[in-house]
Chain A
Amino acid sequence: MPPSTDPPSSPHSPIDRTKILILGQRRSGKTSIVQVLFNDGNPKETFYLEPTTRIAKFTYEYHRHPARDMGLSWEHLPRRPQPPIAVCFYHLRDRYPGDLLRLGSAGRHPSHADSPHCTLQDSYQQPIARLLEFFTTAFGENPDMPLEVFVHKSEAFTDDYKIENFRLIHLRVNEELDDISPEYEQMPLNFHLTSIYDHSINEAFSKVLHRLIDSLPYLEQLLNVFVANSQASKTFLFDVKSRLYVATDASPVDTGTHNLCCDFVKTLTAFGPLYKSVSESPRRIQECPNSKPLFYPSAAMSLAPPSMGTTLTYHLITPQLALLSVLPTLVYESKRGLVEYNVVFFREGVQEIWQVEKDARTGQL
Chain B
Amino acid sequence: MKKKVLLMGASGSGKTSMRSLIFSNNPASLTSRLGATIDVEQNHVRFLGDLILNLWDCGGQDAFMDSYLTTQRSTIFQHVGVLIYVFEIESRDMSKDLLYYRDCLDALRKYSPDAAVFLLVHKMDLVTGDKRAALEKKRRELQHESGDVDVTVFGTSIYDESLYKAWSRIVHAIIPNAAVLTKHLTTFAETCNATEAILFERTTFLVIATSATTRAPPSPSNAYSALTSPNSNSTTTTTVTTPNGTNTDPGANVPVSAETADSDPHELSATRYERTSELIKALKHACSRVREEFHVLEMELPEFTAVLDEMTKNTYVLLVVHDPSIGASCLVWSCPVACVGGRGADGGGGYIETAALKINIRLARKKFEELQSSSVVS
Contact = CB atoms under 8 A, between A and B. Distances in A.
Contact of B267 (A278, A285, A300): A278
Nearest to A263: B286
Contacts, number: 166
B33 interface: no
B264 to A, nearest CB: 9
A288 interface: yes
Contact of B283 (A273, A279, A301): A301
A336 B300 CA distance: 14
Nearest to B301: A297
Interface in B326-376: 329, 331-333, 348-351, 354-355
Nearest to B298: A300
A65 to B, nearest CB: 25
A160 interface: no
Interface in B144-190: 159
A271 interface: yes
A271 B266 contact: no
Nearest to B352: A284
Residue from B324, B331, B349, B351 whose CB has the most chain A CB atoms within 10 Å: B324
A275 B196 contact: yes
Given A260-B292, A291-B351, A302-B296, A44 B243 contact: yes
A259 B290 contact: yes
B31 interface: no
A293 interface: no
A336 to B, nearest CB: 5
Contacts of B266: 277-280
A285 B351 contact: no
Contacts of A292: 351
Interface stretch (B9-17, B93-101, B114-122, B269-277): B269-277
B303 interface: yes
A297 B269 contact: no
A340 B325 CA distance: 21
A42 B244 contact: yes
Interface string B77-92: 0000000000000000
B329 to A, nearest CB: 5
A178 to B, nearest CB: 39
A306 interface: yes
A83 B296 CA distance: 48
A268 B299 CA distance: 8
Nearest to A284: B324
A283 interface: yes
B331 A276 contact: no
Given A256-B290, A275-B196, A280-B266, A297 B350 contact: no
A298 B296 CA distance: 14
Instruction: Pick the most buried of A257, A274, A292, A336: most chain B CB atoms within 10 A of its CB.
Output: A274
A272 B303 contact: yes
A264 B268 CA distance: 22
Given A281-B302, A297-B300, A300-B298, A264 B283 contact: yes
Contact of A275 (B294, B320, B333): B320
B159 to A, nearest CB: 8
B125 to A, nearest CB: 9
A267 interface: yes
Contacts of A182: none
Given A275-B306, A337-B333, A304 B293 contact: yes
A295 interface: yes
B19 interface: no
A270 B267 contact: no
Nearest to B300: A298
B295 A309 contact: yes
A42 B243 contact: yes
A285 B299 contact: no
Contacts of A45: 244-245
A276 B323 contact: no
The bracket for how many chain A residues form the interface is 35 or more
B200 to A, nearest CB: 14
Nearest to A301: B297
B127 interface: no
A289 interface: yes
A280 B297 contact: no
B286 A259 contact: yes
A289 B292 contact: no
Contacts of A310: 292
Interface in A116-161: none
A267 B282 contact: yes
A283 B244 CA distance: 33
A49 interface: no
Given A273-B238, A289-B349, A301 B294 contact: yes
A353 interface: no
A274 B269 contact: yes
A115 interface: no
Contacts of A297: 299-302
A342 B37 CA distance: 55
Nearest to B196: A275
Given A284-B323, A287-B324, A278 B237 contact: yes
B137 interface: no
Contacts of B354: 300
Contact of A336 (B159, B245, B280, B333): B333
Contact of A303 (B282, B293, B301, B306): B293
Interface string A298-316: 1111111110011000000
A290 interface: yes
B23 interface: no
Contact of B268 (A277, A288, A338): A277
A44 B237 CA distance: 26
A280 B322 contact: yes
Nearest to A276: B303
B240 A289 contact: no
The listed residue with most A CB atoms (<10 A of its CB), out of B237, B297, B306, is B297
B304 A260 contact: no
Given A291-B351, A301-B283, A303-B295, A276 B238 contact: yes
Contacts of B295: 301-306, 309
B287 interface: yes
B321 to A, nearest CB: 9
Nearest to A314: B299
Given A270-B279, A290-B349, 11 more contacts: A42-B243, A257-B290, A260-B289, A263-B283, A271-B299, A276-B304, A277-B268, A280-B266, A280-B304, A299-B300, A303-B294
9 contacts: A263-B282, A276-B269, A281-B304, A284-B304, A287-B350, A288-B350, A291-B331, A306-B295, A336-B333
In order of increasing CB-CB distance, the 8 nearest A-B pairs are A337-B333, A280-B322, A263-B286, A277-B266, A256-B290, A304-B293, A278-B267, A276-B303
